[in-house]
Amino acid sequence: MKSSALSLAFVSTESEDARDAAARLSVLYGQEKPENAEVIVALGGDGFMLQTLRDMMGHDKKIYGMNRGTIGFLMNEYREEGLRERIAAAIPETVRPLEMTVTEADGGTRTAMAINEVSLLRQSYQAAKIRISIDGKVRLEELICDGVMVATPAGSTAYNLSAHGPILPLDAPLLALTPVSPFRPRRWRGALLPNQSTVDFSILEHEKRPVNAVADHTEIKSVRHVRVREAHDRTVTLLFDASHSWDERILSEQFRY
């Protein structure tokens, strides 16, 4: 990308810091409509970045984030000077979402997309009982747990990491299958799956032990079956400063103590 010709659209959260930053940057670099801009500059935290990724999915836009939130793992450092040059030199990473297809208690089906993860969580005081199949083959006959999730590389540093799942490089052709508070088998800590895999979760005793399915922020209650697979036809591109690439962040995170 030629830095001098880059058209930018600044979008932000409703926080004062983010709105003020968007106003200043719009004066410095101009403000294009998001549908016409080459690059969307997202100002906020990781939650806002995920929202922006969902909004721009399938629109052939590049997203460059600058942190005006708290964690900012998906964001670059906030600096106002030389922004076009930074974006032109940034490293692109392709993000692919997950598609969740749910069978509800009444037999109806619903679908939802997730950038981070699809998670199944117990709905009551009763632990969930879940059968897990990969590509049509039962791999775990009965998992008794608080929940279980399938996380993308982009989502591997979020809920997945909190549940002691592995951090994945963004370009790794993998998905993380991670349990939440497993009771039986107690020693099972999850699995790494090829990103071509289809994961089926069958909810055992679903009336007695109700389970909710969540695709990022879309929650469906009392499900009977959940199928998860990568949506290969819908992608979005994230841009990272070369001095603080995603790979560097992953290495740094793994050596925190």
Binding-site positions read 46-47, 116-117, 146, 154, 157-162
Q: Which of 97, 111, 96, 132 is nearest to 213 (CA)?
A: 111
Tokens representing 70 are 């708290």
Q: Active-site residue among 46, 60, 135, 247?
A: 46
Burial 74-99 (b: 16+ CB within 10 A, else e): bbbebeeeebbebbbebeebebbbbb
d(CA 96, CA 220): 22
Q: How far is CA 91 from CA 94, 157, 235, 242, in A?
A: 10, 19, 16, 6
Binding-site residue set for NAD(+): 46-47, 116-117, 146, 154, 157-162
Beta-bridge mates of residue 184: 144
d(CA 24, CA 72): 20
55 given a catalytic annotation: no
Active site residues: 46
